[in-house]
Structure 1
Amino acid sequence: MARPYALSIAGFDPSAGAGLLADCKTLEAHGVYGLGVCSALTVQNDVAFERVSWVPLADIRDQISLLLARFSVDYIKIGLFESLPQLLELLRWLRQQRPAASIVWDPVLKASAGYEFHRQPAPGLVQAIAAELTLITPNLPEMRHLWPAASAEEGAECLAEFCPVLLKGGHGDEAESVDILFADNTQYHFAQTRLPQGEKHGSGCVLSAAILAQLALGQPLPAACQRAKRYTTSFLASNDTLLGYHSFRYSPPYADQ
């Protein structure tokens, strides 16, 4: 069977733990062909971030246009981006090119090494961005940054009025890591045992790319999030370093195991 195509628009991380390279490895592990558009060139490794050079929006659009002219792409993930107003501009342009596309945004607001990319945005801008999305996947600090509220859960519930939100629980301290999907006035909980040495550079990129892969393979959103959570847990458990290994034995039909 021909593989579906999925497109990652993300930064280039030379360590290959996060961003564009991590996305494409994750997509490949799921049996999805990953196309890549570079949004930023970073100078970093798994523990240090020095600087970023942004790819102009016009060049990002040109990269995408040539791919869309050649390939049928209906599944798109966006990661690191220079500015949120530019992200909104890109999203509206993408909707003109692919009105029915599933678009997932993993809001990379701060590098794991501490480098901060975006100041707190205005709520109206976040609403406008969310209205163009299929899913947004913030962790707890990112959710509080995007939508100030009494709690990250309350913020996610408010933002879910505009698009589904997967609130990632990796930054919690409970025995289980619980991700919560807020969609269609329903909450879905996906739990995995928290690993004692489970921290990995780029784990958020891997999770969102795995969700995109599952959507491309025909899974509904709740099942896609659940299976992606399971895949990411396997990635976190793959070794004791900050750079995880991808399992290319995770093959169709992606049965629950």
Structure 2
Amino acid sequence: MKNKAAQSIAWKTVQIARHPDRPQFLDYVGEIFTEFDALHGDRLYGDDGAMIGGLARFDGQPVMVIGQHRGRSTREKLQHNFGMCNPEGYRKSQRLFAMAERFKLPIFTFVDTMGAYPGVGAEERGQAEAIAVNLAQMSSLKVPVITTVLGEGGSGGAIGIAVADHVVMLSHSIYSVISPEGCASILWKTAEKAEQASEALALTADKLKKIGIVDYVVDEGEGAHLHPEQVMQQLKQVLKQSLEQLQPMDEKQRCEARYQRLMKFGSNNLGLAS
């Protein structure tokens, strides 16, 4: 019975993370940051609507803000490709990471994607290579990097902008190597086992914090879609606290701490199934 109850909680979290009224990246930008000025294009192929980024101010301080935006209406979803980035989106973020490094700007990234776009064109233009370059670039950035998982954090599409000093999750967001439906299709040959897979994946914020993948969890009550402004203000305070911890650190110290944080992943088993 305990197992079944845990499964139900995990699956409920998946449903809330996908709620159509859940606040999205640009909603948070408008509430938490000021003077946001979006920058476009990867200087190689084009501009990706799924990945949005640019300069902004956080409590008056210049910062770089980058995130995945899904859109709500049919037109917006098509414009933003349902939040699934093409390689030019990751290459755009590479350009913005480099700009932030050059001007010593803290970086805030926001994850909300089912995964990177798996289309033939994306693969032909180097989807895997673009994500791999992001991972390498982010791991060596000297400026503070803070990532927040807003809704879905799916596979390499999420981790492509999530190699950070601190990772924050909203309490009803999910973060996993694969979707529950994809996992179920592989393990049980049917997506109908998605609820069971959601528990096996340990994709909830509380479990991920327990094993050290996540540093902060923002309590959103029954869901951010019900009290968006309250959740946004809570997130702003967490981001402020995180930045205050990271900024005084020496650059080498900060890079080493980020490296050690990444290297401990998978080094032991801390009771994922408990």
**TM-score, reference length from structure 2:** 0.41
**TM-score, reference length from structure 1:** 0.43
Higher helix share: 2
